[in-house]
Amino acid sequence: NSRRDHTFSAGCLDPYAYQEQPGYQRQNATFVMLTRNQELSGVLSSMYSVERHFNQWFQYPYVFLNDEEFSEEFIAQVRAATHADVEFGVLSELEWEFPTEVREQLVFKHSIEDQGDRGIMYGNMESYHKMCRFYSGAFFKHPLVSRHEWYWRIEPDVEFFCDVTYDPFWEMQRRGKKYGFTVLIKELYWTVPNLFRYTRSFIRQNKVKVGDLWDLFVDNYNVAAGDELLNKLANHEWEVERELMDRVEIEHLLETSQYTSAEDVDEELVRTLVSRAKRKPPVIEDKFDNEEYNLCHFWSNFEIARVDLFSTGLYASYFEFLEQSGGFWAERWGDAPVHSLGLGMMLDARDVHYFRDIGYQHSTLAHCPANKRGGQLPYVENPDYATIFGKKRSAYARLGRLGRARSSEQTYGTGC
Ligand code: GDP
Ligand code: MN
């Protein structure tokens, strides 16, 4: 069944034998990292992890990008950390800086300062805004990146915990996958208050027919039946006991939420639904549609994806539209929600791969596949996963569930 997104491989393979299998094709792919000279130790630590767990066998090249020249020391140490090819690029002013007419407006600096005053995470760092804008709309145009078909984004201070003994690029290629992630989390609301409004506007103006991945990123409010239940939950301050829910309501929940089995209708769900029902939805320009961004996004410091996802077609005009709106400085739109909403428009769930077998950590968030009892690798044929894909559910049900911790894996910080 092509809808099923199984892990690409079960357990460890011999990476050399793997590459000799008939039909194997090394891909035109590269690692990409935007970074600064002073982050060298974090860069090296990420590279050691990448090399140790994957690239010592596959030798994919690296591209390092910076808004300033890389120092000789940086270049020498990075080269020494791998046998693979490494290239260093400096961003042009056009790629890195906001357009002059934007920078010259008084409101530009004020707005960024004001975001600091309002306690928006990284809101007062102009460089962070530039970084987000660069990853949203420019990295894929850089000549060192655009000549590749695939990229694997990494950052300083990321860690991989599991050996990846297959070639994720080739596996994605042969299975028609376009975008791969390890962690799905929620964005901080105040960094993107108007992103969804502009996104909806773009969709309407361009009459975009969204793919079914879109459902992963939106909550449908006002679905009459769902609302009724939510109100009921809110009014009754639901006693947190599953037994109290009668069968019909559980069925109903299963239809209107991402939960797929009665066992899942637990305390956490009830609490979520109560708080959701109490929350006032923000004012949305087009009141006639019931969609609200649920703030979920693929955590973009890890991405394995096709470059042309971003460089061709709809995404480029989506970015242009967002750029015109000013949200990369008037708000602090992250590249992660921008990528996710862009992909949500363009892709179907089956185009996306969840690398549930890749243990990954950055800062305090991690995704960790744990071995199941009995020593059997959990991600070979995850029964939960099969059930999800076997049932007719929304894409949100299918993919939203992927980001949740299961008995066979642990994902910290995943609120989707
Ligand atoms: P966080 O993970 O969201 O806290 O963001 P980071 O500070 O790690 O930034 C994301 C990526 O962009 C990292 O690879 C950084 O090295 C890089 N980065 C962030 N700001 C700058 C900058 O001003 N210049 C350069 N060259 N790279 C940057
Ligand atoms: Mn980081």
**Nearest Cα residue to 180 out of 64, 309, 27, 87:** 309
CB of 43 sitting under 6 A from ligand 1: no
CB of 335 sitting under 6 A from ligand 1: no
Q: What is the mean pLDDT of residues 42-68?
A: 97
For domain 15-210+296-411, give its CATH number from 3.40.50.300, 3.90.550.10, 3.20.110.10, 3.60.15.10.
Answer: 3.90.550.10
pTM of the model: 0.80
Instruction: Check residues 351 and 67 and name the one with the higher pLDDT.
Output: 67
| Gap between the Cα atoms of 379 and 199, Å rounded | 35
Contact 128, 19 (CB under 8 A): no
What is the pLDDT, as a whole number, of residue 223?
44
Question: Which residue minimizes the CA distance to atom 5 of ligand 1?
Answer: 128
Q: How far is CA 134 from CA 23, 95, 131, 318, 381, in A?
A: 36, 7, 5, 14, 38
What is the pLDDT, as a whole number, of residue 216?
80
First CA to last CA distance, the chain: 25
Element (H, E) at 396: none
What is the pLDDT, as a whole number, of residue 283?
42
CB of 158 sitting under 6 A from ligand 1: no
Distance 218 CA to ligand 2 centre (A): 26
| Gap between the Cα atoms of 372 and 180, Å rounded | 23
Ligand lying closest to the C-alpha of residue 43 = 1
Calculate the average pLDDT of the chain: 80
Q: What is the mean pLDDT of residues 252-274?
A: 55
Residue % of the chain over a pLDDT of 70: 71
Active site residue 303: yes
Q: Kindly state the tokens that stand for 254.
A: 């299963």
CB of 155 sitting under 6 A from ligand 1: yes
Which residue among 31, 32, 34 has the greatest number of ligand 1 atoms within 8 angstroms of its CB, and so is best to mutate?
A: 34
Query: One of 291, 303, 331, 409 is an active-site residue; which one?
Result: 303
Sorted by where each begins, the domain ranges of the chain are 15-210+296-411, 222-278
- Whether 250 shows a pLDDT value over 90: the answer reads no
| Residue 275 dihedral angles phi and psi, to the nearest 5° | -70, -30
- Whether 257 shows a pLDDT value over 80: the answer reads no
pLDDT band per the 50, 70, 90 thresholds, residue 272: low
Distance 305 CA to ligand 2 centre (A): 19
What is the pLDDT, as a whole number, of residue 154?
98
Which residue among 33, 35, 301 has the greatest number of ligand 1 atoms within 8 angstroms of its CB, and so is best to mutate?
A: 35
| Gap between the Cα atoms of 138 and 345, Å rounded | 19
CB of 34 sitting under 6 A from ligand 1: yes
| Gap between the Cα atoms of 108 and 266, Å rounded | 46
What is the pLDDT, as a whole number, of residue 115?
94
What is the pLDDT, as a whole number, of residue 10?
76
* pLDDT tens digits, one per residue of 329-342: 999 999 999 999 99
CB of 66 sitting under 6 A from ligand 1: yes
Question: Which residue minimizes the CA distance to atom 14 of ligand 1?
Answer: 155
| Gap between the Cα atoms of 97 and 328, Å rounded | 11
Question: Which residue minimizes the CA distance to atom 16 of ligand 1?
Answer: 35
In 46-188, at which residue ranges do the beta strands (DSSP E only) sit? 62-66, 86-90, 150-153, 158-160, 179-181, 184-186
**Nearest Cα residue to 167 out of 157, 159, 177:** 177
Distance 156 CA to ligand 2 centre (A): 6
ipTM: 0.99
Which residue among 45, 131, 135, 299 has the greatest number of ligand 1 atoms within 8 angstroms of its CB, and so is best to mutate?
A: 131
Residues lining ion ligand 2 (Cβ < 5 A) are: 155
Can you tell me which atom of ligand 1 is nearest the CA of 42? 16
